[in-house]
Amino acid sequence: MTIIIIAITAFVIMLLFPILFSLFFLRKSSGKVLEIEQTKIRDPRYFVKSFTGLFDEKWADYDGSGKILLSREENILEADGLKEYPSVCQSIIYAINLDFRPQAGTRFEKEVYARQNAYLSGVETIRAICSKKNLVLGNGTKVLRWVDAEGTLTASDDCDLGISATSTTKIIVGGNCRFRRLYAPTILFGQGTGEVLLDECSHNLNLKSTPLDELRNIKYVTNDLADDAGVLAGTIITIYDITVLNRLTVKGHIRSHKSIRLCDNAVIYGNLFAEEDIYLGQNTRVYGSVFTQGSLYAESDVTIGQPGKTKSVIARGKVIFNKNCRVYGYVSSEAGGECCPDYNLSKMEPIALSRPRPHKGLLLKKIWPAVISIAMLFAIITTSISTTAILKRIHEKERLLEVEKAIAKEFTYGVDGKPDGGQLETIPTLVTKEHVYFEDRVLERFYYDPNGIWQASEILRGAMDSLPEGVNKYLMLIPTRISLEDDRYQMYSDDVIGAIAEIYATMPSEVITIDTANALFEHKSEYLFFRTDHVWTALGAYYAAEEFCKSAGIGMKDISEYQENRFEHYIGTMNALPEARTLSKYPDYVSYYIREGAANQQTITARRTKDDYLIYNTPTVALSRQGYDIFIGSYFSHSILYGDLKKDKTLMILGDEYSKALAPWLTPYYENVILVDSKFFYGGSMEFWQLFSQYKITDFVVMEYVQNLGNSLINTRIKGIFSKP
């Protein structure tokens, strides 16, 4: 009993300490609005510059054969001599001296490079296109990747502008157009090409030189807070929804922990930051940048930014612009943007406008003692309840383990590893931000992050560039299970295959990219991913290894040469999710494959504690380790897998948990396979290069799960490994 009291006391102290510590520093914090550094952003025209730079370099050596070597050999058509294109054109198009005007109904599945004007009237689909002059997309044209013009880029009604649409001059976006990222000195939404853009003069606003008050925790900007001219010379920081009433001006920034609403004709000189949605009324103007964790809804005649100065509009949710809106600079929306959609903004639920109230920010200082007292009381009650629940859960888990052991042998499994051969459930029981839950499985949702894609590309490209000459370089990105599910579930995920293709497109030409997504898709009806875990099965790893061998010119042994064995009743890490209450009823099984005569031995450097590693010999694939650790082991730094090919040929894999099931498939074709865990590798750059040199690596592959793209722990470790020792 004494131990329980001590444990509860310690828990309460640990629970309260960060709360009190945070409150202390919150009171001391100035809460100043962060400035946006405009000079350190990545080039929004990266895609077109990368493509045209490579194309122009290769075109100088073009021999007229109809083939051109870019990242790989591509067919090419010179547009100046063509009057008609195939209905589905699978060649790169290069228009040099004449305007590019293809016939209606054409689909272009490769890039188009036009040095003159380009007019795509009636074109259904185009992968990517750039023009050195003006570019016009006809009604309903769908861009799959990117579009760029050095002149004016005009998108007619109902276009889809793909991942990125850019121009060095101006973009005009028609009604009901969809987009993800836009960049141009001037972007016009819902305006005809002949309409005059008002207020094209630049206002040199220097907020640092203007003395500004700081108002905290207000809900409304009213005439009572403004001067006789309707101007509030101050920056606003608030924890509430905030509304700026009609025709009022705020000379500073607005930062809200909830939503922001600007009523008609309101003007903001600074930036807008909101954790929830931002609503901009008719004829409002924001001279700074706009950032929201929610969505942005702009009614007609809204202006963001000012001519000659690049500003940003960034939203985690949707971005909706009505007619006659304009932005000077950059627009990005993770959930997708629309211009003048079919529905009316006035039908959307607005922030309720109630009677303005006096400023009550000072009252917050008086209620902090009560808040702290309530929090402490709540923590004590919660601790008591939690302790009881934990003890109960421990006993319940012990009971369930005994039951599960008793029934494990009674299961038979279907093609998807589901017990009793049942079909997979088709109706989700719950959809959250991160997962889609079914009775018998959990699917991870994927969110496209352009900045994360760029960061991953930079890190992976830097890693490949660091490798010595003569080493064969490979990159293998693994898709999520949801990308292989039926089309009805794709609404819960962004384009995984497109994100992988985007990374692959940025790699140096000597890097061979492995198309695991297509290899898995061809076998999607088979048991490729666990239902209770996010990793793939040994069978899924086999098809990826087969694709690697094709790219490396290796004749891979057929899976029929291996003896399949099973570890029954496997329940993976997804079962730990609080919402995954039913997964234990539908356990997976782990298949592992052993080939007669294979070495199946490794020297593993395994992690015991943070700074303690143990080196020992053990089978590469061993049932004694159980679960997914049957392959290689758990929490290891690196391992030397002994191969069956006694030649001076060694493969190094730098990978995450997906590499554990794949590496054993490749040992028959190398003297050694060096598997380095990108998350738990014990050393840094110096130790990595010593390992690389010691085993004289001839082939090198980086493996990474698509969910780890971006500034993840794994990529941070990869970046550190390839930094100069």
Per-residue tokens: 436: 């889609």
The residues, ordered by sequence, that sit 6+ positions from 356 with a Cβ below 8 Å of its Cβ are 219, 220, 222, 224, 245
Domain boundaries, the chain: 1-30+376-409, 46-189, 207-359, 430-721
Rounded-to-integer distance, Cα 283 and Cα 279, Å: 12
* Per-residue pLDDT, 510: 94
Share of the chain above pLDDT 90, in %: 56
Rounded-to-integer distance, Cα 545 and Cα 209, Å: 62
* Per-residue pLDDT, 422: 76
* Per-residue pLDDT, 360: 41
The residues, ordered by sequence, that sit 6+ positions from 69 with a Cβ below 8 Å of its Cβ are 58
Phi, psi of 570 (to 5 degrees): -95, 125
Model confidence at 356: pLDDT above 60:
no
Rounded-to-integer distance, Cα 175 and Cα 506, Å: 33
Model confidence at 192: pLDDT above 90:
no
Task: Please tell me whether the overall predicted TM-score, pTM, comes out greater than 0.85 for this model.
Answer: no
Instruction: Give buried/exposed letters for 333-357 (b at 16+ CB in 10 A, else e).
Output: bbebbbbbbeeebeeeeebeeeeee
Model confidence at 39: pLDDT above 60:
no
Interval 609-660: pLDDT, tens: 666 778 889 999 998 888 999 999 888 899 999 999 877 899 999 999 999 9
Average pLDDT of the chain to the nearest whole number: 84
* Per-residue pLDDT, 18: 74
For the chain, state the CA radius of gyration.
30
* Per-residue pLDDT, 7: 72
Q: Which range has the top average pLDDT, 16-20, 250-254, 679-683? A: 250-254
* Per-residue pLDDT, 227: 87
Q: Tell me the pLDDT band of 195, cut-offs 50, 70 and 90.
A: very low
Give me the residue label for tokens 């960061």: 455
User: Hey, CA dihedral for 359, 361, 362, 364, is it positive or negative?
Assistant: positive
* CB-neighbour burial class of residue 487 (10 A; exposed 0-12, middle 13-18, buried 19+): exposed
Interval 286-344: pLDDT, tens: 999 999 999 999 999 999 999 988 889 999 899 999 999 999 999 999 889 999 886 44
Q: Tell me the pLDDT band of 262, cut-offs 50, 70 and 90.
A: very high
Model confidence at 346: pLDDT above 50:
no
Interval 663-698: pLDDT, tens: 999 999 999 999 999 988 888 889 899 999 999 999
Q: Tell me the pLDDT band of 532, cut-offs 50, 70 and 90.
A: very high
Phi, psi of 548 (to 5 degrees): -60, -45
Give the three-class secondary structure for 626: coil
**Quick one: which of 345, 331, 357 has its CA closest to 241?**
357
* Per-residue pLDDT, 28: 59
**Mean pLDDT, rounded, for 128-132:** 95
**472 alpha-carbon distance from chain centroid:** 28
Q: Tell me the pLDDT band of 402, cut-offs 50, 70 and 90.
A: low
Q: Is pLDDT larger for residue 360 or for residue 104?
A: 104
Give the three-class secondary structure for 64: coil
Rounded-to-integer distance, Cα 268 and Cα 248, Å: 9
Per-residue tokens: 664: 């054993």
Phi, psi of 354 (to 5 degrees): -105, 180
Q: Which amino acid is at 417?
A: G
Calculate the CA dihedral of residues 526, 532, 536, 539 and round it to 10 degrees: -40
The residues, ordered by sequence, that sit 6+ positions from 42 with a Cβ below 8 Å of its Cβ are 451, 454
Model confidence at 559: pLDDT above 60:
yes
